[in-house]
Amino acid sequence: MANRKIFADLDQLSKEVGQTIVDLINQANRMGKPFSIALSGGSTPRRLYQCLAQPPLVNHVPWGGVYIFFGDERAVSPDDALSNYLMAKTTLFDHLPIPSGNTFRIMGELADHKDAAEQYQHTMLDILPREEGIPVFDLMLLGIGGDGHIASLFPGTPILEETEKFVRAVYVSKLHAWRLSITYPVINHAKHVFILAAGTDKAEIVHDVLGDMTNNHIYPVQRIQPKGELMWYLDSAAASKLVD
């Protein structure tokens, strides 16, 4: 059974995950090491970022030793309302005493999506430690879609089979849009992978993945097999169809 924690609501979930992140950052700091994290977009992590940006949590982090990346991005400018970077900037970065050089966004506005992916891969390789040649994050934060996608790894897209590139551009037909995403090799080499799910609209997918699998689907999220810790954080609504 996958490791999971269930909370009454999104606020409680966000505070718990926020405190856990602070603890992990401080553990790394005590060892004299920086801490790297890849953020998720979407609605669920917004409250988490607000918690991290406010007292008491914001005051207990050595932000100068934290490096923040993104797991995926839409092919839009950084000031676009759909931008994952913009959401993180307004809820988190704008409120942190973190050096501007410690945050790394995906250049979603570039017309050449392949070039944007390659640039981000180079940045990751420059900043992050490597294992077997693959960049290693201390923490990968992921949300989950109703179709079981994580980051921008959507069902039926060729990026699911990518094993060589660490960041790749992918066209998602059902969204009629380009995305840029970190790939499975990077996700599965992270020291910690946290999947956050909240709301009744996530109850079905959570049941399919963590429950009795009565629908017997194979989702992108099920390809996550990290060498490190995999933890699911659910609110009661998302977990409502699970049976203990």
For 210-241, the DSSP string reads: HS--TT----GGGG---SSEEEEEEETTTTTT
H/E segment holding residue 163: none
What beta strand segments (E) does the chain contain?
A: 3-7, 35-39, 66-70, 72-74, 130-131, 134-135, 139-143, 167-172, 177-182, 192-197, 229-235
pLDDT attached to residue 214: 53
Q: What residue type is assigned to position 169 of the chain?
A: A
pLDDT attached to residue 25: 98
H/E segment holding residue 47: helix 44-52
How far is residue 69's CA from residue 46's CA, in Å, rounded to a whole number? Answer: 16
pLDDT attached to residue 86: 98
pLDDT under 50: residue ranges of the chain: 1
pLDDT attached to residue 2: 67
pLDDT attached to residue 211: 83
Model pTM?
Answer: 0.96
Nearest to 98 by CA among 128, 62, 122: 62
How far is residue 33's CA from residue 87's CA, in Å, rounded to a whole number? Answer: 28
pLDDT attached to residue 218: 85
Q: List, in sequence order, every residue forming a beta bridge with 181; answer none if it has no partner.
A: 72, 168
Domain 3-235 has CATH 3.40.50.300: no
b or e along 9-37 (b: 16 or more beta carbons within 10 Å of the residue's beta carbon)? ebeebbbebbebbbebbeebbeeeebbbb
pLDDT attached to residue 26: 98
pLDDT attached to residue 28: 98
- The first and second tokens of residue 204, run together, are 């079905």
pLDDT attached to residue 243: 76
